[in-house]
Chains A and B, each alone.
Chain A
Amino acid sequence: MQRSSALGETKTDTQIKNKVKRQGSVYPFYFLLGALILYLVFSVIPGFIGLFYSFTDWNSFSTDINFVGFDNFGLIFSSEENYLSFIKNTLIFTVATIILKTALGLLFALLLTEGVKKLTNLHRVIIYLPAVLPMLVVGLVFKSILNPQTGLLNEFLRSVGLGAFAQKWLVDANIALFSIIGVDTWKGVGYIMVILLAGIQAIPKDYYEAAAIDGASPLQRLWSITLPLLMPVITVTTVLNLLYGLKVFDIVYALTNGGPGYATDVVFTSVFKEFGQGRYGVASALSTVLFVIMIVFGYFVIRLMTRKDQAE
């Protein structure tokens, strides 16, 4: 497909070159404006105003906005406030969900390509299903499932004689964050699995045939063919998980709203709370910390995702 169009191009090359001169009229710039304006006004500008406000004491109690230098950042990184624990929770959530979703996603994808011959697509459709459910609804249902007394999970554990493992999942400050990580993995692993599955299916079958002739065991094929060739895809899913984890808000809001106490608060739930209390300067500074980190990672993932276009 690609090759034939490349050949065709030489034939019409001169025609296209003539067209280039008046391409502005065939592909007018104003076609871009709607998308560009929406993007600028509702994404870029708020981001950069946020940069500015994070150096001010803007709040809802006073009409004056004063420049305070790095005070807000000093507050965020001081040990007297809880902000550091919110950042720590965000990092724990991010690292744990990256590892869990990648490992399980890969395992499930291998199971569906290697292990299961029938109903593969049905399994894929069902395992991805949690990803499309609204987070608020998932939060409500899991609040019930994880209820210490009547919840389905503890009931199940007791009924199979594992009552010792029954926990106060969302109530115990020591494990609430891990319960959230568990629910998030349940919801998001299908997405990662689907991407990895497509990656595995894109690996040419010849490699496996050659390996089989050479007498490679399934494990050797996994280590020497599947994993190395899947690395670019795993890199993309890892960065996607990273970006998702750093800006996580809705699942925490829906399951615990940061509680018990501040045990499960992450950066964006605390931004929401600061916002509610009218401390806009601090809230902006918190957002800005993430904004800067994510621009860096974002640049990296966008480069990866557009590598195909750049090559052309």
Chain B
Amino acid sequence: MPTKPLKALGFNLAALLLSVVAFIPVYIVIVNSLKTKAEASVMGIGLPTTLHFENFATVIEKGKLGQSFFNSMLYSVGSTAIGTILAAMAAFVLSRNRTRLNRFLYFFIIMGIALPTNYVTLTQVMQITQLINTQLGIIILHASGQIPFGIFLIYGFVQTVPRELDEAAIVDGCGPWRLFFVVIMPLLMPVMITLSVLSFLGAWSDFIAPLYFLNNSDYWPMTLAVYNFFGQFQSDWSLVSADILLTILPVLIVYLLAQRFILSGLTSGAVKG
């Protein structure tokens, strides 16, 4: 169908405008992280006159970012690994062995996608399980948070793996562990990567669990550290920007590398086929 060139230009400009609006806050953070304190005072969109890379060294030192970065990595990677593997094991059994009980359990677990967390009583559970104020506690909490959606996502994918493989493996003498970890899990990799990326990003960005359950600042992740840093240095937006950029850099990298997996994970369930 012939579209008038003027109209096409208008559409392209509109799309460009949207992308600019979506990207502007990240852009502001990038340019201001390289400015001096005076230059960054209004968080403008202008480019820095000289590049001040030393801002990053300053915030890493002043904000104790080394420790926070390690904490964030520990929470994100740990919870992603635990949550993804547990969700995959459960989804495999639930999808393959559809007894009445398992159908009920599937529905019961994925109801968790909708449930709000009750942080008040969760605090009690964390106390009873001795997980409050521990790094393991945050890892387990994030891992459990990804289970409902994880099982939902993987459950659908398990159906695309032929059952004949299970039978062949059993005939060859595989037990359930080897069947799952050696035969099935490699085939679930695409969906497990999708889930891992979403979980990693979710855990990296979260600050609510640490806010409620960690009062030792040595255990804080990047998100809380940056918030605290802002409290101390809010007059210096160049340093705050540098801190923010270091916080979102892993997110940006993972997103750009894995956006294909993310977008496919988001649309499953909402869009048929």
Contacts and interface: CB of A to CB of B under 8 A. Distances in A.
B201 A132 contact: yes
A231 interface: no
A125 B237 CA distance: 28
A224 B136 CA distance: 54
Contact of A42 (B44, B122, B156, B251): B122
Interface string B104-139: 010101111111111111111100010000000000
Interface residues of B, number: 104
Most chain A beta carbons < 10 A, residue from B115, B145, B176: B115
Interface string B255-273: 1100100110011011111
A31 B93 contact: yes
Contact of B41 (A32, A36, A150, A287): A150
- What DSSP secondary structure best describes chain A's contact surface? helix
A66 B165 CA distance: 58
B93 A32 contact: yes
Given A5-B162, A118-B12, A298-B114, A233 B270 contact: yes
A308 B256 CA distance: 31
A258 interface: no
A27 B22 contact: no
Contact of B166 (A26, A53, A312): A26
B203 to A, nearest CB: 11
A220 B209 CA distance: 49
Interface in A128-151: 128-130, 132-138, 140-142, 144-145, 150-151
A162 interface: no
Nearest to B143: A38
Most chain B beta carbons < 10 A, residue from A124, A140, A249: A140
Given A32-B90, A136-B226, A287-B120, A145 B18 contact: no
Given A38-B140, A118-B12, A299-B111, A24 B18 contact: no
B121 A295 contact: no
A194 B267 contact: yes
A84 interface: no
Given A47-B115, A287-B120, A129 B208 contact: no
A108 B208 CA distance: 31
Interface stretch (B25-33, B54-62, B63-71, B187-195): B25-33
Interface string B154-180: 011001101110110010000010011
Nearest to B29: A141
A309 interface: yes
Interface in B15-54: 15-16, 18-19, 21-26, 28-29, 41-45
Interface in A2-52: 5, 8, 12, 15-16, 19, 23-29, 31-32, 34-36, 38-39, 41-47, 49-50
Contacts of A202: 271-273
Interface residues of A, number: 107
22 contacts: A26-B97, A27-B93, A27-B96, A31-B90, A32-B93, A43-B112, A45-B121, A49-B124, A127-B19, A129-B26, A130-B25, A132-B262, A136-B207, A136-B226, A137-B223, A140-B240, A152-B45, A280-B120, A287-B120, A291-B118, A301-B113, A306-B110
A39 B148 contact: yes
Nearest to A32: B90
Contact of A152 (B16, B22, B28, B255): B28
B270 A237 contact: yes
Counting from the closest, the 10 A-B pairs by CB-CB distance are A298-B114, A115-B11, A134-B205, A38-B144, A35-B90, A27-B97, A198-B267, A50-B118, A42-B144, A46-B121
Interface of B: 1, 8, 11-12, 14-16, 18-19, 21-26, 28-29, 41-45, 86-87, 89-90, 92-94, 96-97, 102, 105, 107, 109-125, 129, 140-141, 143-145, 147-148, 151-152, 155-156, 159-160, 162-164, 166-167, 170, 176, 179-180, 201, 204-208, 212, 223-224, 226-227, 230, 237, 240, 244, 247-248, 251, 255-256, 259, 262-263, 266-267, 269-273
Given A43-B117, A308-B272, 13 more contacts: A26-B97, A32-B105, A35-B89, A35-B109, A38-B143, A46-B121, A49-B118, A116-B11, A129-B22, A132-B255, A140-B244, A275-B123, A299-B114
Contacts of A19: 167, 170
Interface of A: 1, 5, 8, 12, 15-16, 19, 23-29, 31-32, 34-36, 38-39, 41-47, 49-50, 53, 108, 111-112, 114-119, 122-130, 132-138, 140-142, 144-145, 150-152, 155, 186, 190-191, 194-195, 198-199, 202, 212, 232-233, 236-237, 240, 243, 246-247, 249-250, 268, 271-272, 275, 280, 283-284, 287-288, 290-291, 294-295, 297-299, 301-302, 305-306, 308-309, 312
A247 B248 CA distance: 24
A269 to B, nearest CB: 11
A250 B147 contact: no
Contacts of A12: 163-164, 167
Contacts of A198: 263, 267, 270-271
